[in-house]
């Protein structure tokens, strides 16, 4: 079993990266970025890191639309043209698309080269860059192709968040809300308080959020059991995100925006099936009302979203398996939910938010 990658912060992170480069002496280093991280983050990164030879930068356009096999092929061809061998290193400097796609290409190029994640969005810092999940979408279906393969390290530097638009910060905060719901009352309360004064990225809270994810992945790196808890809100959230990516009727949502709706729906279902406390569900509603756009779905669209859940990666034998909550931090895995209850959850979202 692969060990989870160490997570380093700030100066200690850059020192660890510099030590790694000095010890491992990679034959070549590629820094994989998108146009945004190249413009806003690359020069700060380069100032902190000592390379023996000039690294090669490869950039792609930003956005979820790039997260497909075509972009992987283009990157693999570029790595081949640059003559990267198996002692080369790929550094993913960017948000979740860059860490997911770059990590996947590093995992399959010449049967695998080492990679390091330097996440620059809140979503990647607290979630995507940690835990070794890599992959790409299959058309509009999320993360259908990929492997779990740990990076060499994750380097967290919150300075990268300074240039992030608020909408992106809120998208990342959605995964922090999820970590609050699946962990403990104390962490959940801290998340709710941070949102009240809109300080959605205070340092301690980010560290705590990362610790929640790290501890869960440590127990179950291959998602055979408890790691499924990190998919809370994602069964419906991913289906909603996929639907919006392929629909002309509703604009695409950021990942965290879709997951916020998924959490409202799955929390309603948790209240109905497991008696999850309504007062905690109300706190979640308040957070989602405050931070995320409300989306109106009609009955046909909801039926399409329900169809899309058939592609969820937790399904077994054609059965959709939800993660639900009995209480804050009390997780119920592999739960089946009637379509009628899902319809009622959408009705609740429409009425309440
Ligand atoms: N993003 C959920 C996980 O890494 O398991």
Q: Is 111 a catalytic residue?
A: yes
pLDDT tens-place string over residues 291-327? 999 999 999 999 999 999 999 888 898 899 999 999 9
Q: Is 86 a catalytic residue?
A: no
We report the CATH number of the domain holding residue 81 as 3.40.50.1970
Counting residues of the chain whose pLDDT is more than 90, the rounded percentage is 92
Q: Which atom of ligand 1 is nearest to the CA of 217?
A: 5
One domain for residues 290 and 250:
yes
The answer to whether the beta carbons of residues 226 and 130 sit under 8 Å apart is: no
The answer on pLDDT for 260 being more than 90 is: yes
- Domain membership flag for residue 40: yes
Q: Is 313 a catalytic residue?
A: no
Average pLDDT on 118-136 reads 98
The answer on pLDDT for 182 being more than 80 is: yes
Q: What is the per-residue DSSP string for 8-51? A: EEHHHHHHHHHHHHHHH--S-EEEEEEHHHHHHTHHHHHHH---
State the catalytic residue, choosing from 133, 140, 187, 283. Answer: 133
- Domain membership flag for residue 277: yes
- Residue 2 has φ and ψ, to the nearest 5°, of -70, 140
**CA distance linking residue 241 with residue 128, whole number of Å:** 16
Q: Is 238 a catalytic residue?
A: yes
Domain end position, chosen among 163, 196, 214: 163
The answer on pLDDT for 200 being more than 90 is: no
One domain for residues 194 and 307:
yes
The answer on pLDDT for 353 being more than 90 is: no
- Domain membership flag for residue 149: yes
Q: Exposed (0-12), middle (13-18) or buried (19+): which is 123, by Cβ within 10 Å?
A: buried
CA dihedral 170, 176, 182, 185 (to 10 degrees): -100
One domain for residues 190 and 284:
yes
pLDDT tens-place string over residues 66-98? 999 999 999 999 999 999 999 999 999 999 999
CA distances from 94 to 157, 273, 300 (A): 12, 39, 36
Number of domains in the chain: 2
Q: Could you list the residue range(s) of the whole structural domain that residue 85 is in? A: 7-163
Q: Which two tokens stand for residue 321?
A: 């398996």
Counting residues of the chain whose pLDDT is more than 70, the rounded percentage is 99
CA distances from 330 to 180, 216, 279, 320, 341 (A): 11, 13, 16, 20, 21
Residue 255 Cβ inside 6 Å of ligand 1? The answer reads no
Mean pLDDT of the chain: 96
We report the CATH number of the domain holding residue 294 as 1.20.1090.10
The answer to whether the beta carbons of residues 332 and 274 sit under 8 Å apart is: yes
Q: Which of 123, 230, 241 to mutate to test the pocket of ligand 1 (most atoms within 8 A of CB)?
A: 230
């Amino acid at each position: 079993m692969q060990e989870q990658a160490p997570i380093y912060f700030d100066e200690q992170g850059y020192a660890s990266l510099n030590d790694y480069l000095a010890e491992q002496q990679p034959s070549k280093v590629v820094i994989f970025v998108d146009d945004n991280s190249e413009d806003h983050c690359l020069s700060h990164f380069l100032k902190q890191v000592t390379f023996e030879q000039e690294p090669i930068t490869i950039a792609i356009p930003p956005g979820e639309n790039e997260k497909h096999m075509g972009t992987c092929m283009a990157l693999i061809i570029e790595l081949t043209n640059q003559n990267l061998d198996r002692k080369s290193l790929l550094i993913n400097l960017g948000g979740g698309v860059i860490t997911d796609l770059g990590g996947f290409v590093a995992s399959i190029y010449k049967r695998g080269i080492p990679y390091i994640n330097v996440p620059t969005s809140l979503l990647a810092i607290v979630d995507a860059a940690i835990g070794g999940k890599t992959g790409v979408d299959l058309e509009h279906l999320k993360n259908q192709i990929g492997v779990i393969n740990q990076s060499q390290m994750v380097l967290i530097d919150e300075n990268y968040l300074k240039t992030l638009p608020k909408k992106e910060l809120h998208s990342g905060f959605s995964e922090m809300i999820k970590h609050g719901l699946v962990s403990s009352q104390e962490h959940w309360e801290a998340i709710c308080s941070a949102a009240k004064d809109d300080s959605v990225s205070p340092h301690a809270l980010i560290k705590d959020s990362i610790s929640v994810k790290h501890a869960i992945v440590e127990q179950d790196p291959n998602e055979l059991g408890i790691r499924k808890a990190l998919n809370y809100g994602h069964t419906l959230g991913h289906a909603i995100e996929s639907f919006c990516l392929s629909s002309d009727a509703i604009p695409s949502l950021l990942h965290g925006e879709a997951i916020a709706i998924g959490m409202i729906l799955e929390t309603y279902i948790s209240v109905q099936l497991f008696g999850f406390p309504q007062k905690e569900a109300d706190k979640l509603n308040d957070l989602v009302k405050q931070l995320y756009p409300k989306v109106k779905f009609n009955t046909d669209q909801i039926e399409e979203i329900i169809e899309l859940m058939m592609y969820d990666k937790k399904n077994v034998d054609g059965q959709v398996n939800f993660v639900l909550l009995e209480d804050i931090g009390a997780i119920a895995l592999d739960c089946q939910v009637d379509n009628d209850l899902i319809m009622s959850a959408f009705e609740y979202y429409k009425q309440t938010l």
